[in-house]
Amino acid sequence: MMASGPLDGVRIVEFAGIGPGPFCGMLLSDMGADVIRIDRPGDGKPGRAADVMSRGRRSISLNLKDPADVETALKLMERADGLIEGFRPGVMERNGLGPDVVLGRNPKLVYGRMTGWGQYGSLSQAAGHDLNYISLTGALYAMGRKGERPSPPLNLVGDYGGGALYLAMGLLAGIVNVKNGGKGQVIDVAMTDGAASLATMFFGMKAMGVWTDDRESNLLDGGAHFYDTYECGDGQWVSIGSIEPQFYALLLEKAEITDPEFKAQMDRSKWGDLKAKLTALFKTKTRDEWCAIMEGTDICFAPVLSMAEAPNHPHNAERQTFVEVEGVMQPAPAPRFSGTPAEIQRRPAGLGEHTEEILRDWQVSR
């Protein structure tokens, strides 16, 4: 399938990895970039349709222990706009593919490096995962219920929010700079840096004295009775986010709450008692019954859906937020573009499936 998205014509070389690296490659491919993935030698068979994060890219098989294949990789990078690599600091250099070598061959390349701890710092050579990276930034400490241990928030904050998205933004910013006459450069993406950046608002609130380190005691961490999740009578859950006074007033109206205690919305000393009352109230109806009363209003309400339920919700279906490809339900490309729509370019690639095709299209000889 030919690309048609806003990044049509942009070429990216992605060194195979796990998690946030492939996700960044998927995002850029969904936007129309020609992203090729350099894999270790494989059987060249088509990839599994369920390997959703591998969608959209072609795969070339190269043995980076072989000097001839290293030279082929360098030739590919000579023709690329950007590079994605997620190895520990020093690995690319030891393979003869470090920034000095690559930028010497292609001064306009934007060399994107993503690790958990960054390219330097006392922890830069240590192993780690998302949970560790967000632990170091203060983000994990703030998540969880009062008196309980911090709750792992899936690996969305470090790997994907603080890593992949910042790498995508950094690569595109660098490519725009080159298009405007600048030079190629190295993008050092640390998931610790990205996760800390994502927490900017909360650091600001703490500096203003309106946020504390006590979990479930603040406006947005479940401390407020009007910003939390509640169990319904059928064991399902709903979420309430009625922060603004007019939205809170509508919550009270729709829930038929006449208790005068609820008028003191921002009195933190009453939040615990009011939450207990709401907890009991929401258990008096099923999730569907509450949806019939509140969904689509300005209460700031939504049912808490499972991954199995989410694609079938009318709003998601109307927007085609999820798409089915070869029998696999998956999130559709985001965001939406009016003139250059993003799309899934191709099925997930197997290891080395497109080796000869890539060499031909990129005009590289081995």
pLDDT (tens digit per residue) in 153-202: 999 999 999 999 999 999 999 999 999 999 999 999 999 999 999 999 99
pLDDT for position 44: 85
Share of the chain above pLDDT 90, in %: 97
Under 8 Å between Cβ of 114 and 167? yes
Annotated catalytic sites, by residue?
129, 159
pLDDT for position 43: 85
CATH superfamily of this structure's domain 228-314: formyl-coa transferase, domain 3 (3.30.1540.10)
**Angle at the Cα of 86 (from 67 to 322), degrees rounded to 5?**
125
Q: What is the mean pLDDT of residues 343-358?
A: 95
Indicate if the pLDDT at residue 2 is higher than 70. Answer: no
Indicate if the pLDDT at residue 230 is higher than 70. Answer: yes
How far is it, in rounded angstroms, from Cα 80 to Cα 78?
6
Which fold, 11-199+333-362? Answer: Rossmann fold (3.40.50)
How far is it, in rounded angstroms, from Cα 49 to Cα 148?
39
State the pTM of this model: 0.95
Q: What is the mean pLDDT of residues 333-343?
A: 96
What is the pLDDT of the chain when averaged over all its residues? 96
DSSP string across 68-115: HHHHHHHHHHHT-SEEEE-SPTTHHHHTT-SHHHHHHH-TT-EEEEEE
pLDDT for position 42: 86
Indicate if the pLDDT at residue 216 is higher than 70. Answer: yes
The helix/strand/coil state of 7 is coil
pLDDT for position 180: 98
Task: Work out the burial of residue 287: count CB atoms within 10 Å of its CB; fewer than 13 is exposed, 13-18 middle, 19 or more buried.
Answer: buried
Indicate if the pLDDT at residue 67 is higher than 90. Answer: yes
Residue 3 — very low, low, confident or very high, per pLDDT cuts 50/70/90? low
Task: Work out the burial of residue 152: count CB atoms within 10 Å of its CB; fewer than 13 is exposed, 13-18 middle, 19 or more buried.
Answer: middle
Interval 84-125: pLDDT, tens: 999 999 999 999 999 999 999 999 999 999 999 999 999 999
Indicate if the pLDDT at residue 1 is higher than 50. Answer: no
Q: What is the mean pLDDT of residues 298-321?
A: 98
Indicate if the pLDDT at residue 58 is higher than 90. Answer: yes
Domain extents in the chain: 11-199+333-362, 228-314
